[in-house]
Amino acid sequence: MRLAVAGGTGMAGAHITAVAHERGHEVVVLSRSTGVELLSGAGLQGRLEGVDAVIDATNVTTAKPDVSVSFFAGATKSLLRAEQLAGVRHHLALTIVGAEAAPDGYYAGKLVQERLVSTSDVPWTVLRTTQFHEYAAMMFHRSHAGAHVAPAGRVQPVALHEVAEHLVDLAEGEAAGRTTDLAGPREESLADMVRRYARAIGYRRPVPIVHTPGTLGRALRSGALLPGTTALRGVQTFSEWLDALPDA
Ligand SMILES: NC(=O)c1ccc[n+]([C@@H]2O[C@H](COP(=O)([O-])OP(=O)(O)OC[C@H]3O[C@@H](n4cnc5c(N)ncnc54)[C@H](OP(=O)(O)O)[C@@H]3O)[C@@H](O)[C@H]2O)c1
């Protein structure tokens, strides 16, 4: 198959691209560093010729709803328009379990993305997953006033290589609409994950627990971002992911 991975140079996108290559697919990577600016559409023309499916793993780092909505709406519209012109028969979006529980920050953009995809004429699949194991690293490195902190929360993190395998499986099949969610094997304390990650990379100072403000903080602490009982469960635990870190 010929697969396009939008955001194929990013954290999730690199895993998706690697899995697609391992399976012998031809991969077209769409990102600014490969000459495609999705918000303006610059560089996109001609890149989707002969593409069977597009997996969207693009992202913007923000907690602001307007920035998130503007990015995900812009990138999604641009991709769907180009897919229609090129006759692509399958668009896949990677989104987040429980996004509606915190609709006034970053997740606002994810909800708009899902709405645009699910009302598009391009046959589609939306896969929601829980936080990746890497979320612990992201939270640790996002320091507050120069200090590293560990946000309180209940999460069920999943391995990115399992997300990538599943997305490529889905891309190899027919468009499935909103498909079954994918989560990790067990619930973890986010604060504990961040502290264990800090120790694993050799950080020895205290990492205080904080309560993230607003709806995201409440969603994290209440368990609203945990998967339902019907979600698929991955295999790799957070501990196994941590043990496999190069710095561990
Ligand atoms: N983090 C989690 O725990 C989690 C959980 C579930 C789902 N997700 C979803 O997974 C997706 C991927 O997240 P990630 O953290 O892997 O992303 P990431 O590492 O931030 O990568 C973002 C990608 O998007 C590309 N990109 C950004 N702006 C672009 C633009 N204007 N035009 C073209 N390409 C652009 C970047 O490449 P260039 O910089 O070269 O343009 C990069 O390849 C997101 O949609 C996120 O919501 C994340």
Tens of pLDDT, residues 109-127: 999 999 999 999 999 999 9
Span 122-133, mean pLDDT? 98
- Nearest CA to 45 out of 20, 1, 78, 3 is that of 78
Assign 11 a pLDDT band (cuts: 50, 70, 90).
very high
* Ligand 1 center to 14 CA (angstroms): 10
Question: Is 111:99 a contact under the CB 8 Å cutoff?
Answer: yes
Assign 140 a pLDDT band (cuts: 50, 70, 90).
very high
Question: Is 8:31 a contact under the CB 8 Å cutoff?
Answer: yes
Q: What is the percentage of the chain residues whose pLDDT exceeds 90?
A: 96
Ligand 1, atom 3: closest residue by C-alpha: 131
Ligand 1, atom 11: closest residue by C-alpha: 57
Backbone angles phi, psi at 72, to 5 degrees: -70, -35
Ligand 1, atom 4: closest residue by C-alpha: 131
Assign 246 a pLDDT band (cuts: 50, 70, 90).
confident
Span 164-190, mean pLDDT? 98
Assign 146 a pLDDT band (cuts: 50, 70, 90).
confident
Ligand 1, atom 23: closest residue by C-alpha: 7
pLDDT tens, residue by residue, 25-69? 999 999 999 999 999 999 999 999 999 999 999 999 999 999 999
Span 133-140, mean pLDDT? 97
**Single-letter amino acid code for the residue at 200:** A
Computed from CA positions of residues 25, 240, 59, 97, in that sequence, does the dihedral angle turn out positive or negative?
Answer: positive
In the chain the first and final C-alpha atoms are separated, in Å, by 37
Ligand 1, closest atom to CA 129?
6
* Ligand 1 center to 236 CA (angstroms): 22
Q: Please check the confidence at residue 247 and state whether its pLDDT lies above 70.
A: no
Q: What is the CB < 6 Å shell around ligand 1?
A: 7, 9-13, 31-33, 36-39, 57-59, 94, 96, 110, 129, 131-132, 135
Assign 248 a pLDDT band (cuts: 50, 70, 90).
low
* Ligand 1 center to 61 CA (angstroms): 8
* Ligand 1 center to 13 CA (angstroms): 7
- Nearest CA to 181 out of 111, 116, 95 is that of 95
Mutate to test the pocket of ligand 1, among 38, 59, 94 (most ligand atoms within 8 A of CB): 59
User: Across 7-122, where does the E strand assignment appear?
Assistant: 26-30, 53-56, 91-96
**Single-letter amino acid code for the residue at 80:** L
Ligand 1, closest atom to CA 157?
3
Tell me, rounded to whole angstroms, the distance of Cα 119 from its chain centroid. 21
Q: Whole-angstrom Cα distance, residue 29 to residue 236? A: 27
For residue 199, give every residue at least 6 positions away whose Cβ sits within 8 Å of its Cβ, in sequence order, or none: none
